[in-house]
Each structure stands twice: as structure tokens, then as C-alpha cells.
Amino acid sequence: MTIRVAVADDQALVRMGLRVLIEAEDDLELAGEAADGAEAVRLVRRARPDVVLMDVRMPVLDGIGALREIAADDALADTRVVMLTTFELDEYVFDALRAGAAGFLIKDSEPPELLRAVRLAAAGESLLSPSVTRRVIAAFTSRIPAAPRTFPELALLTEREREVLALVGEGLSNEEIAQRLVVSPATARTHVSRSMVKLRARDRAQLVVIAYQAGMVR
């Protein structure tokens, strides 16, 4: 299966680098490029890519605004957006996760890390840059109101699914969850998938947000 990838960044050199990287992979195909957020939304609606690599800061419409428009369009539900940022703790990272981003990466990430992010996003997984995942989660925690939000859908989760949700909130991968609970990675993946369905989460990143807002992660 070929993964179709769109690139949105206002810097021509960044777009060129991503284009070269994508076109060198047999399982990836460039679906198009955009130099601003408004153009990115038009591109996504026209080309329907599997994954979008979206810069946070762009003219006309920034990456978060473009992400919100894409996430609000039911016809684009299968498109996953990975945000690209220059700064490790960009103030917009939290807004991106709430808006439905599949994750985010630092622009100077190593090529294998970026390619892995594309493939994970296409598979419905999420990716936070490994170098900053824990710091992002810690900072996100500090922004959560003292009183947890109420999610009625949590009542639909089994005890094990609630346990898995809390571990997802800690930033653990399926493999790490499997090790923690002494189950197979496939079983962990199943619990995560069922939790996403029951909580109507667009992707794994939104599970992280729910886990924190519900007060399930300390």
C-alpha cells in the first residue's frame, strides 16, 4: 500500500527536503505541496492525502487553523496531520493535540524518525517527538484545570481499558503498555483501539488529552 503524503511549509527549502525524502521511499508518494495554511486546506480537500506534514507557523492561515479546518471536515476523517515545529516546546503543541493532530515532530528530526512518523500516522498511531515527549506531557499537565472534566463515555470502558488509557496518557507505546501489563502488543493495541472507538477519539493523541482532562494521569 502506498502512503500519499502532502507537505505544507512556507519555507521552500524545507518543502524541498521533505519532497526528496518522501520520493526516495518506495511506499510513499508526494500528494502535493502548500506554502501556507489556506493552500494546505485546499490541497488536502483536492488530493485527499493519507498524511499531511504541517508546519505550525505559516502565513495567511497558520498550521493550527488549517488543522482545525481539516479535522472539522468529515470527508477528510481519514487524513492524519503531523505538525512540524522548530521549537521543542512550541506553545501551539497543546492546541494541535486538542485540535486532532496525530502528533508533532521537531523539524530537525533525523530522516528515519520523520519517515517512521509518517508510517505510524498512516496506520492510525500517533507520534510525539521522542526527545520531548515527557516534557510535553509534563507541560500539558500543568495546563489542565484542577477539576477534571467529566467524560460519560468513560463508563463504557472496561477496567483494563481504563488502565490502558491511563498508560497511553503517560506517553507509553503499545509495546511499552504490553510490557507493563504483561500482555502481547496485539492485545495492548486492541485495548487502545477499543478505547478510541468508545471515546470517539480521532486518534491516539486525543486519547492522551482525554486521559489528562479526566484526571487519570498523575
Tell me the per-residue pLDDT of 67-114, one tens digit each, with 9 for 90 and over: 999 999 989 989 999 988 876 555 666 677 777 888 778 888 889 988
- Residue 38 above 90 pLDDT? yes
Summarize the confidence of residues 146-173 as an average pLDDT. Answer: 85
Count of CB atoms within 10 A of residue 206's CB? 21
Give the pLDDT of residue 97. 74
Residues 6+ apart with CB under 8 A from 204: 102, 124, 125, 126, 168, 192, 196
Write the single-letter amino acid at 18: L
Give the pLDDT of residue 102. 82
| 3-state secondary structure (DSSP) of residue 192 | helix
The percentage of the chain sitting over the pLDDT mark of 90, rounded to a whole number, equals 51
Q: Could you identify the residue written with the cell 503499545?
A: 174
Dist. CA 165–CA 159, nearest whole Å: 10
Q: Phi first, then psi: what are they for 104, rounded to 5°?
A: -150, 155
Domains in the chain and their CATH numbers? Answer: 3-139 (3.40.50.2300), 145-213 (1.10.10.10)
Dist. CA 213–CA 159, nearest whole Å: 18
Write the single-letter amino acid at 66: A
Q: For 48-71, what is each residue's pLDDT tens digit?
A: 999 999 999 899 999 999 999 999
Q: Would you state the cell numbers that stand for residue 107, as one nine-digit string?
A: 523539524
Give the pLDDT of residue 130. 45
- Residue 137 above 60 pLDDT? no
Q: Phi first, then psi: what are they for 32, rounded to 5°?
A: 145, 170
Dist. CA 80–CA 76, nearest whole Å: 9
Q: Would you state the cell numbers that stand for residue 116, as one nine-digit string?
A: 517512521
Beta bridge partners of 4: 29
Residues 6+ apart with CB under 8 A from 166: 211, 216, 217
Q: Would you state the cell numbers that stand for residue 194, as one nine-digit string?
A: 477499543
Give the pLDDT of residue 131. 47
Using CA atoms, how far residue 181 sits from 96, 140, 169, 191, 215, in Å, is 30, 25, 15, 12, 21
Q: For the chain, how long is the longest CA-to-CA vector?
A: 49
H or E stretch covering 83: strand 80-85
